[in-house]
Structure 1
Amino acid sequence: MKTMMNTAKVALLACTMAVAPAIALAADNPIRGNIRIVIGSKSTGGDTYQASSIIAEALADKIDANIKVDAVGFSAGYQALARVPSGNTLMIFHDQAYLGQLYGKKGYEDPFKKWNIGPTFATNPGNGYLVPKNSPYKNMDEIINAAGSGKEIRVAIQPGGVSEIGYTAMKNAVRLAYPGQEDNLVALNTGSQSDKNQAMFDGLADVINGSVQANEQYTRLPSDDQKAMRFVWLTAKSSTLQKANPEGMGQTSRDELLQYASGLGVKMPMDADNDFTFDKEFYFLYNKRMSPEVVAFLDNALAEVFADGKVQETLKKSFFIPNFRTSAEAKEHLMAKRDSYAKIIDSLHK
């Protein structure tokens, strides 16, 4: 009987130790009440919503708080974030926050001046471009050659962001191979992922920006289905893509997806010596007046989330690469990345 009682005490102690970090974090939480995370996309079927939902659920469990993700788009998201400095409203966005400003798009201010940069938490190696499955263009070479020979190629993008920088790279590739023909690649400006998909379904776009997370399901449809599509290019570095689980996403393996990566199955020249690549990264944005105490609390909470190891598994199952940096580390990394792509955008527009 004594042994059984001791065993029970050990089990209770182990259980208490297991939940102690969450209890401590909950007790120390300087954010009072519910937390709303607004995202820079209006689509609940896109990669931003998927990545945000995964990290929000893990954070909610860690700090014992109610957290809701709202797909409101960047403009409404910025307005909501500006109103609430307490930490009860946070924002998750990706590289479009600074790309939009680099492209001079309305509504995009310098995020490094307007907001506090929070932690990064994931990279999407599946950002890419697709064509209808019955498209006459089988790969990026055929698309570039078609534009070079005078055919108009319509590319559905969301202006000022990850969509546009890939489109810019395509246009530059046409210019390098066929000087003067790059304007045959035409931007069809749309909104979030659902809008880009619809442009393809309606026959308005020859190519759309999409992602493995949002669009892989459509690549499994038969060719005669109006919604059937296939990948032609993934912008991520092949080294980033190789960090994904071997099973890939849905019914498409990592090795099958690697054939669409720059430097492997796709040649997307940036200049005579280098291919263009782009890793899409997700991170938090905070109100500039949010207290250092709240920033530190969220840094520590997210560090513990990643130390547990479970969120990495969940992210990778959804084809995201775990990518945690503290707020200070994230700001330094993203500013350097911004400066690097500012040079690229400038050179591609000359």
Structure 2
Amino acid sequence: MIFHDMAYLGHLYDVNGYGNVFEKFKIGPSVAINPGNAYLVPKDSPYQSIEEIIDAAGNGEEIKVAIQPGGVSEIGFSALKNAVKREYPGKEGNIVAVNTGSQADKNQLLFNDYADVINGSVQANEQFTRLPESDQKAMRFVWLTARNETIQKANSEGLGETTREDLLNYVSPNASVPMTDKQNFTFDKEFFFIYNKGTDQKIVDCIDNALKEVYAKGDIKKRQKELFFIPNYMPSSEASKHLKGKMADYKKIINNIQS
């Protein structure tokens, strides 16, 4: 199957049914990044940036963040809470999860003022950023979790009426969510193959080699970028090592806010 980072994040968040994917399965090649994981506020929100949200929480304001718990939606929330703990020890409890389900549910919480911030995506929410501030559904981006270099690889037109240059305003270092003293948190939502543990290595190698040829030809890269995906082929061994590294980094964040 093709899956994404939820495969290991679900295990880190103790979601039912998610074991350690690196032990239970065989990791195949990575194929693409969805660069659109985002956090948004109402267009009339007093918070103009993700830094202002961190500072507000540090200064005693409760910030309600609508997420779908246990995975891609929650990892940015965890990073935000971790940043508050780093910058304002003891104040991380002011970043409060409003656990819900679909993107429509998260949007509705924002429309009804039940959340101050929501997890969303460029693809699902960009249309709402075009609305006038007087519209109840109007919202704006404050943070994209993707790496700066990931957004740099997108087509210049971006998505909808939001250009690549617009999007770069919401990624590190322009939008700063500290993870360590020297590093901001980033998260690319990556898609990769997962095989059953007993899959013959010859099959894995065959698909690795076939995908290498497909990506070298280049048509798939053009098509992915047209759909606001970033081509990201890595062979199985490289992808497995890379994803294990991500899991280790995010485990530290989750453990830090739970301690």
Same fold per superposition (TM over 0.5): yes
Match for residue 221 of structure 1 among 109, 113, 131: 131
Distance in 2 of aligned mates of 1:114 and 1:192: 28
Letter in 2 for 1:299: D
Structure 2 counterpart of 1:277: 186
Post-superposition offset of 1:322: 0.5
CA 1:271–1:336 in structure 2 vs 1: closer, same or farther (change >3 Å)? closer
User: Aligned ranges for residues 179-218 of structure 1 at < 5 Å?
Assistant: 179-218=89-128
User: Aligned ranges for residues 69-88 of structure 1 at < 5 Å?
Assistant: none
Match for residue 234 of structure 1 among 135, 144, 148: 144
Structure 2 counterpart of 1:55: none
Structure 1 counterpart of 2:168: 258
- Would you say 1:126 and 2:36 are equivalent positions? yes
Alignment check: 8 A CA contact 1:236 1:277 kept: yes
Distance in 1 of aligned mates of 2:180 and 2:232: 29
Structure 2 counterpart of 1:98: 8
CA 1:113–1:253 in structure 2 vs 1: closer, same or farther (change >3 Å)? same
Q: Report the TM-score, using the length of structure 2 for normalisation.
A: 0.90
Post-superposition offset of 1:238: 1.3
Match for residue 342 of structure 1 among 251, 255, 258: 251
Distance in 1 of aligned mates of 2:112 and 2:233: 39
Give aligned-pair identity as a percent: 59
CA 1:342–1:176 in structure 2 vs 1: closer, same or farther (change >3 Å)? closer
Alignment check: 8 A CA contact 2:78 2:253 kept: no
1:9-56 CA-partner distances (Å, limit 9, x unpaired): xxxxxxxxxxxxxxxxxxxxxxxxxxxxxxxxxxxxxxxxxxxxxxxx
Match for residue 329 of structure 1 among 215, 238, 251: 238
- Would you say 1:141 and 2:51 are equivalent positions? yes
Distance in 1 of aligned mates of 2:82 and 2:252: 14
Q: Report the TM-score, using the length of structure 1 for normalisation.
A: 0.68
1:45-83 CA-partner distances (Å, limit 9, x unpaired): xxxxxxxxxxxxxxxxxxxxxxxxxxxxxxxxxxxxxxx
- Would you say 1:310 and 2:252 are equivalent positions? no
Post-superposition offset of 1:294: 4.1
User: Aligned ranges for residues 144-163 of structure 1 at < 5 Å?
Assistant: 144-163=54-73
Post-superposition offset of 1:339: 2.2
Moved over 6 A (4+): none
Distance in 2 of aligned mates of 1:271 and 1:185: 18
Alignment check: 8 A CA contact 2:82 2:256 kept: no
Post-superposition offset of 1:293: 4.9
Distance in 1 of aligned mates of 2:3 and 2:42: 28
Which secondary structure does the structure 1 equivalent of 2:170 belong to?
coil
1:188-237 CA-partner distances (Å, limit 9, x unpaired): 11224333223323432211111212221221122222322110011122
CA 1:271–1:300 in structure 2 vs 1: closer, same or farther (change >3 Å)? closer
CA 1:199–1:284 in structure 2 vs 1: closer, same or farther (change >3 Å)? farther
1:72-99 CA-partner distances (Å, limit 9, x unpaired): xxxxxxxxxxxxxxxxxx3x22112112
Instruction: Between 224-233 and 300-309, report the one with greater CA deviation.
Output: 300-309
Alignment check: 8 A CA contact 1:129 1:207 kept: yes
Structure 2 counterpart of 1:286: 195
CA 1:326–1:233 in structure 2 vs 1: closer, same or farther (change >3 Å)? same
Alignment check: 8 A CA contact 1:213 1:318 kept: no
| Bigger relative CO (Cα 8 Å, ≥ 6 apart) | 2
Which secondary structure does the structure 1 equivalent of 2:182 belong to?
coil
